[in-house]
Amino acid sequence: MRIIKKLSFVLSTVVIISCSQKVLQPKLALVSKNNLETRVDSVLKLMTLEEKIGQLNQYNGFWEITGPTPKEGQAAKKYADLKNGLVGSMLNVKGVKDVRALQKIAVEETRLGIPLIFGFDVIHGYKTISPIPLAEAASWDLSEIKKSAAVAAEEAASVGLNWTFAPMVDIARDARWGRVMEGAGEDPFLGSQIAIARVQGFQGEDLKARNTVLACAKHFAGYGFAESGRDYNTVDIGESTLQNIVFPPFKAALDSGVRTFMNSFNELNGIPATGNKFLQRDILKKEWQFDGFVVSDWGSINEMIAHGYAKDSKHAAEIAINAGSDMDMESSAYVEHLAVLVKEGKVKESLIDDAARRILRVKFELGLFDNPYLYCDENYEKETIGKPAFQEAVLEMAKKSIVLLKNDKELLPLKKSGLKIVVIGALANDKTSPLGSWRIAADDDTAVSLVEGLQQYKGNKLSYVKGADVAVGRTQFVWETKINTTDKSGFAEAITAAKGADVVIMNLGEHGLQSGEGRSRTEIGLPGVQQELLEEIYKVNQNIVLVLNNGRPLAIPWADANIPAIVEAWQLGTQSGNAIAQVLYGDYNPSGKLPMTFPRNVGQVPIYYNYKNTGRPELPEADSVFWSHYIDQENTPLYPFGYGLSYSKFEYSNLELSQNSFAGDGLINVSVTVKNTGKYRGKEVVQLYIRDLFASVTRPVKELKGFEMIELQPNESKKVSFVINKKSIEFFTANSKWEAEAGDFKVFVGGSSAQTLESNFQYLNN
Ligand code: NOJ
């Protein structure tokens, strides 16, 4: 079916191109150039109601899908709408040739010739794939993250795209949720810093430049809090969590200039986000003064029917536009119903004008009215895709994303000669899995596998045995029901090989397609028979380096208790194998820190470092059960937020505060000395947390408020300083305002959220 659709589209494209050879001249290029708003208004004035609604309509390309498959026969209707000026944007169109063909229809065949915006999920790269965003977050390296987004933007813009549906800035605490891979983890402070870096990386200084794209802060809001970690599930959270945890990265993205927002599939406290006036009108457009536009998520306007919030598509369109959703992605609800709704008086035309104005404004900002084909140059596309500078950038990013979880016996770094190394695990030889699940434009088998990366080091004797598969089968958007293989027929060969090795590198974990949208899990251990394989190999050889690939925190208590070296290598993208090999051999000293807590088992989930103390945080008396705990497991995680080792060792001392209190707009300088007591030069992310001991709304036991990455030679010490001011202690108080409340605080500084030096201070008034 999809092939037929594709063919019919390709045929029509050919016809259009061959009978339309005239010089391309956007009809509106000559509108007043005075200022942006005048230009926008001058276009708006020429438009009929239907044409304005057309700007609010976004269609999927005719064959690629990133949501439920469109109904049959839609291609012809979409195509007709496009020619009639009833489409404002398209998504999932790949490559200059197709972008140009569709843009040409919009510019030359519609009455007003308004150019389209082309959007695409460039989540962590277009064809050159960088690490999944959760992995990038583990680098805590904002300039590298910004660079990675800039690389993605440059490559995406070279294929004709003007808009990426990234960054996803949803805070997530539940490892069962498959989309934790797409965000920056559990913390609003780190999440905000990363949101800024990614928006700046994608959008650059100038949206009209040929190497930048529009960014999109998504999913507004609360999507990361789906009940039981099941994607698309209900979200029910209080105002304090919404304001203090969920909103900050969105606000940070907005303050750094993000020009679009995407709303989300979930309902929030009984109201679907797509139809949520509080979120989109009261907060985003009124309080935060956002003047870009909001796109719905895929089909989320019509999904309000299934939510039980709209009685039919027409009603859904009415709710969504009134609530402030400006562009309809793939529901066709706006293009089908808005004109009638305006005529019936159910929707004010001024709201349509406002939405169309927002979209046109962004089109002007992109320079599309000046040159709709700015992004359509096939030679430039060829020169740009996959260029060596991109490979270098994603390799750098990948190395910095790796987190060393355990290194007993100093098994790592590996010696460069004289070792017999056996590599085990299907993932080690997989050239697709490292690309992750959001890599719709990247070709299969284009990542450097771990085996290939290790082969670059010629001094050791290297062999590879699969041992076991990870999953039964895979396709990008349809997942086999039986995801985990039970086949153990490869065990014997792997056991024999492991027996004679000096070191066994086991590359286990999730396939890239086992996390991402629609891929929630109820078990978060090693999928399939991999745990069994690990234990069998351990019986014959204990010198194991476990390299994990995964898109979410995994629960691996047995490995933590038994395996001497564990390396968290996520899904690291195109250069994955090279990055891991360089870390294993010590050519890059690991510096990553976890952006999300790793639980001991799935029952602890959601687990996060910035939890609330509760009224019963401790054992009141010996053997009492009446405190907040489990009777079968500790409360503490396996690996805490902010945790990550290095081949160096860092010692923290001399936590000093310039004063123990401050008032009003004053500040306290906090400093600490960090010394590298190890043998290797290394990087450390020094983290500062605070705790507000009592407040008008209960506060978390720790909140990250600052971090700095330093690099130290062996024996070198550095004094690292942070500032605590009013902003550091502000939160959304019982007065429903962001304010600083006077009171007592603790401050912690260390190399993770769990290992910290501690002191106290007071805030005297506001
Ligand atoms: C649905 C996802 O939730 C969203 O993040 C994505 O951008 C759209 N599909 C478009 O593919």
For position 300, what pLDDT does the model report?
98
For position 10, what pLDDT does the model report?
30
For position 321, what pLDDT does the model report?
99
| Domain region containing 553 | 397-604
- State the first-to-last Cα distance of the chain, in angstroms, to the nearest integer: 65
Regarding whether 401 and 371 lie in a shared domain, the answer is no
In this structure, is residue 229 part of a structural domain?
yes
Atom of ligand 1 nearest to the CA of 92: 11
Q: How far is CA 158 from CA 162, 710, 711, in A?
A: 9, 35, 36
DSSP secondary structure letters along 512-561 = GGGSSTT---S--SS-TTHHHHHHHHHHH---EEEEEE-SS----HHHHH
120 lines ligand 1 (CB under 6 A): no
User: What mean pLDDT comes out for the span 204-209?
Assistant: 96
For position 66, what pLDDT does the model report?
65
Regarding whether 414 and 373 lie in a shared domain, the answer is no
In this structure, is residue 613 part of a structural domain?
no
420 pLDDT more than 60: yes
For position 74, what pLDDT does the model report?
77
Tokens of 714: 């062996």
User: What mean pLDDT comes out for the span 104-117?
Assistant: 97
480 pLDDT more than 60: no
Boundary (domain end) residue, out of 382, 405, 437:
382
Regarding whether 476 and 409 lie in a shared domain, the answer is yes
Regarding whether 335 and 419 lie in a shared domain, the answer is no
In this structure, is residue 94 part of a structural domain?
no
d(CA 376, CA 122): 17
Regarding whether 536 and 672 lie in a shared domain, the answer is no
Atom of ligand 1 nearest to the CA of 223: 3
**What's the 155 CA to ligand 1 centre distance in angstroms?**
20
Catalytic residue among 297, 326, 328, 430: 297
In this structure, is residue 641 part of a structural domain?
no
170 lines ligand 1 (CB under 6 A): no
**CA angle 79-81-82, nearest 5°?**
65
Q: Which of the listed residues 298, 329, 330, 519 should we mutate to test ligand 1's pocket, taking the one with most ligand atoms within 8 A of CB?
A: 298
> At 222, which CATH number?
3.20.20.300
Strands 682-692 and 703-712: antiparallel
DSSP state of 296: P
66 lines ligand 1 (CB under 6 A): yes
User: What mean pLDDT comes out for the span 670-691?
Assistant: 98
Q: How far is CA 576 from CA 141, 277, 291, 294, in A?
A: 18, 43, 39, 35
317 pLDDT more than 50: yes
Atom of ligand 1 nearest to the CA of 165: 7
For position 61, what pLDDT does the model report?
85
Reported in sequence order, the residue ranges of 578-716 that DSSP labels E, i.e. its strands, are 650-657, 661-662, 667-676, 682-692, 703-712
Domain total of the chain: 3
pLDDT tens string 508-544? 999 998 999 999 999 999 999 999 999 999 999 999 9
**CA angle 7-10-12, nearest 5°?**
110
pLDDT tens string 254-281? 999 999 999 999 999 999 999 999 999 9
| Residues forming beta bridges with residue 721, ordered by sequence position | 671
Q: In terms of C-beta density within 10 A (0-12 exposed, 13-18 middle, 19 or more buried), how is residue 657 classed?
A: middle
For position 25, what pLDDT does the model report?
39
140 lines ligand 1 (CB under 6 A): no
User: What mean pLDDT comes out for the span 357-365?
Assistant: 97
Regarding whether 139 and 208 lie in a shared domain, the answer is yes
Regarding whether 564 and 487 lie in a shared domain, the answer is yes
Query: pTM of the full predicted structure?
Result: 0.95
Q: Which of the listed residues 297, 330, 439 should we mutate to test ligand 1's pocket, taking the one with most ligand atoms within 8 A of CB?
A: 297
In this structure, is residue 77 part of a structural domain?
no
d(CA 649, CA 674): 10
Nearest Cα neighbor of 20 from 109, 113, 131 is 109
Q: At what angle do helices 247-255 and 188-203 cross, to 10 degrees?
A: 30
In this structure, is residue 733 part of a structural domain?
yes
Nearest Cα neighbor of 201 from 166, 252, 161, 159 is 166
**What's the 693 CA to ligand 1 centre distance in angstroms?**
40
297 belongs to the catalytic site: yes
10-14, 328-332, 475-479, 480-484: lowest mean pLDDT where? 10-14
> At 586, which CATH number?
3.40.50.1700
Nearest Cα neighbor of 172 from 133, 215, 224, 136 is 224
451 pLDDT more than 60: yes
Mean pLDDT for all residues in the chain? 93
In this structure, is residue 704 part of a structural domain?
yes
Regarding whether 353 and 255 lie in a shared domain, the answer is yes
Sequence letter at residue 702: K
User: What mean pLDDT comes out for the span 235-255?
Assistant: 98
349 pLDDT more than 70: yes
d(CA 382, CA 363): 25
**What's the 66 CA to ligand 1 centre distance in angstroms?**
7
Reported in sequence order, the residue ranges of 214-336 that DSSP labels E, i.e. its strands, are 216-220, 260-263, 267-268, 271-272, 293-295, 328-329
> At 738, which CATH number?
2.60.40.10
Regarding whether 348 and 376 lie in a shared domain, the answer is yes
For position 614, what pLDDT does the model report?
97
Regarding whether 155 and 260 lie in a shared domain, the answer is yes
In this structure, the residue with its CA closest to atom 9 of ligand 1 is 298
165 lines ligand 1 (CB under 6 A): yes
User: What mean pLDDT comes out for the span 178-182?
Assistant: 98
Regarding whether 446 and 378 lie in a shared domain, the answer is no
121 lines ligand 1 (CB under 6 A): yes
pLDDT tens string 703-751? 999 999 999 999 999 999 999 999 999 999 999 999 999 999 999 999 9
Nearest Cα neighbor of 109 from 89, 85, 125, 81 is 85
Regarding whether 227 and 342 lie in a shared domain, the answer is yes
In this structure, is residue 247 part of a structural domain?
yes
